[in-house]
Amino acid sequence: MYNKNVKSSLKIKNITNASIKDDKRVRFANNVEDVQTVFRQAGQDNTAVYVYREAKPRGISLDLSSMNHILEIDCDNLVAVVEPGVTLAGLADALGEKGLRFIPADTVYYRHQTVGEWVYSGCPSILAWKYGAGKFSLMGADFVLPTGELLKTGGKTVKNVTGYDLTRFLTGAYADMGVGVRFLLKLLPLPKSRVKFSALFAGVPEVLSFVEKLRQQPGIPAYVLWADDIVGGRFNNSPKGSHCLVCEFEGVQEEVSAVAAQVQTYLKQCGAREVRECNSEDECEFFDGLFKAGPGLVLTDEYKIPYNRQTEFIANAYKIFHNHHIVGGLFGQLGEGKIHLMFPTFGPEEKVAITELTTLAEQVGGVSSGKYQRLYTGSKLGRLEQSVKDSFDPKHLLNPSEEMRL
């Protein structure tokens, strides 16, 4: 079991880079009390505080990287209690030593994030097809509100939680209701056996045909991840016109062996080539940086599209890219209807294309996640979320846009 003795509050450091004329200040928090102190002082000074965002001029950047302790691993109740600076990679390693896992950290896709970043981005999980949305792996959390107050939600067991589900309400992607400072994570045992496949397909119809076969069989995949040739070319050096797919199955040995044989048949029926059965994560996980923005790569939005309209949405998305003379890539978890959008570059034409894609998603009965609007525009929250945000943050201190501070 991991424990941490909470130390008395340490002096929060101010770092001012003299070469930056707008006086961006960085403050490092070592515990909950430090975070509360930053917000209380910011409220008195009417100074914006930015967490997991780039600070605007005269704002404070709050760094939580020192709050990186696994406070407890409760093997009996299958719960881990962690601080926001714990990385998903470090958490996976610590849990693996005890034969346990945290589902969102059970693949490489989000392990570059800290738990705090993962919660702030909306608790994504690549294994949602089998295990449900990532938010349901979060059993509770402590949030410091922009007023400096501490709000505790959830608990270790379901029977201890009654009333409104504040935990998941407060973890909407980029909602900026408060800053998570302690998280209760639901754990599961490691699977007895698992197998992964990677393959290339000629086009979207072949990929969707394979996914449909998986949807009809009883063995639910842990995940299925598809990437078109633009995305696959960047991460897997796949040839033009080749669509990449990676899928994983897990469970008891007999079940996994039977499913693996059937999946190989499906792959052959759908014309897959360069099929590989992988016995280790490193062999197949060539998309390990897929959900991480970097040089020459901009992640923008996510769309939830009804399964029977995915072919239409994807085809029209490529038409939109062509009409604007831009390069756009698509990837996602087609079994759950999730399609993500990325651009090698980002400019005015890409912004117009996103607006058209959002409209297209609505036309086919789908929705946009809203991540783009919250990260890149002044459009923020729905009416209910905004009313709660205004109550929790009346001075608009936490991650405000320039318009909110005027």
255 vs 317 pLDDT, higher one: 317
- Nearest Cα to Cα of residue 334 among 230, 213, 217, 241: 213
- Nearest Cα to Cα of residue 133 among 337, 282, 308: 337
Confidence of residue 380 (pLDDT cuts 50, 70, 90): low
- Nearest Cα to Cα of residue 26 among 68, 57, 55, 48: 55
- 93-129 per-position pLDDT tens digit: 999 999 999 999 998 889 899 999 999 998 999 999 9
List domains and CATH numbers for the chain. 70-189 (3.30.465.10), 193-284 (3.30.70.3450), 298-376 (3.30.70.2740)
241 vs 404 pLDDT, higher one: 241
| Contact of 228 with 331, CB cutoff 8 Å | yes
Helix (H, G, I), strand (E, B) or coil at 74: strand
- Cα separation, 363 vs 357, whole angstroms: 10
Pair of tokens at residue 113: 């994030």
Inform me whether the pLDDT recorded for 280 exceeds 80: no
Task: Indicate if the alpha-carbon torsion angle 372, 375, 379, 383 is positive or negative.
Answer: positive
| Contact of 38 with 27, CB cutoff 8 Å | yes
376 vs 112 pLDDT, higher one: 112
Average pLDDT, the chain: 86
Residue 23: per-residue pLDDT: 47
Return all residues near 400 (Cβ < 8 A) that are at least 6 apart: 48, 56
Inform me whether the pLDDT recorded for 16 exceeds 60: no
Pairing of strands 60-63, 49-50: parallel
Inform me whether the pLDDT recorded for 17 exceeds 50: no
Buried b (16+ CB within 10 A) or exposed e, 127-164: bbbbbeebbebbbbbbbbbbbbeeeebbebeeeebeee
Inform me whether the pLDDT recorded for 45 exceeds 90: yes
Return all residues near 65 (Cβ < 8 A) that are at least 6 apart: 28, 85, 114
| Contact of 346 with 293, CB cutoff 8 Å | no
Residue 212, φ and ψ in degrees, nearest 5? -60, -40
Residue 369: per-residue pLDDT: 83
pLDDT, average across residues 350-355: 92
Report the 3 state secondary structure along 223-277: EEEEECHHHHHHHHCCCCCCEEEEEEEEECHHHHHHHHHHHHHHHHHCCCEEEEE
- Beta-bridge partner residues of 225: 246
Residue 11: per-residue pLDDT: 40
- Cα separation, 91 vs 129, whole angstroms: 22
| Contact of 99 with 191, CB cutoff 8 Å | no
- pLDDT above 70 covers a percentage of the chain that reads 86
Inform me whether the pLDDT recorded for 287 exceeds 90: no
- Cα separation, 245 vs 228, whole angstroms: 9
- 203-240 per-position pLDDT tens digit: 999 999 999 999 988 888 999 999 998 888 877 777 77
Which H or E run includes 93?
helix 88-96
How far the first Cα of the chain sits from its last, in Å, is 48
Confidence of residue 406 (pLDDT cuts 50, 70, 90): very low
Confidence of residue 402 (pLDDT cuts 50, 70, 90): low
pLDDT, average across residues 369-398: 79
- Find tokens 């003379």 and name the residue: 325
Q: What is the pTM of this model?
A: 0.87
| Contact of 235 with 290, CB cutoff 8 Å | yes
- Cα separation, 302 vs 103, whole angstroms: 21
94: left (phi over 0), alpha (psi -120 to 50) or beta: alpha
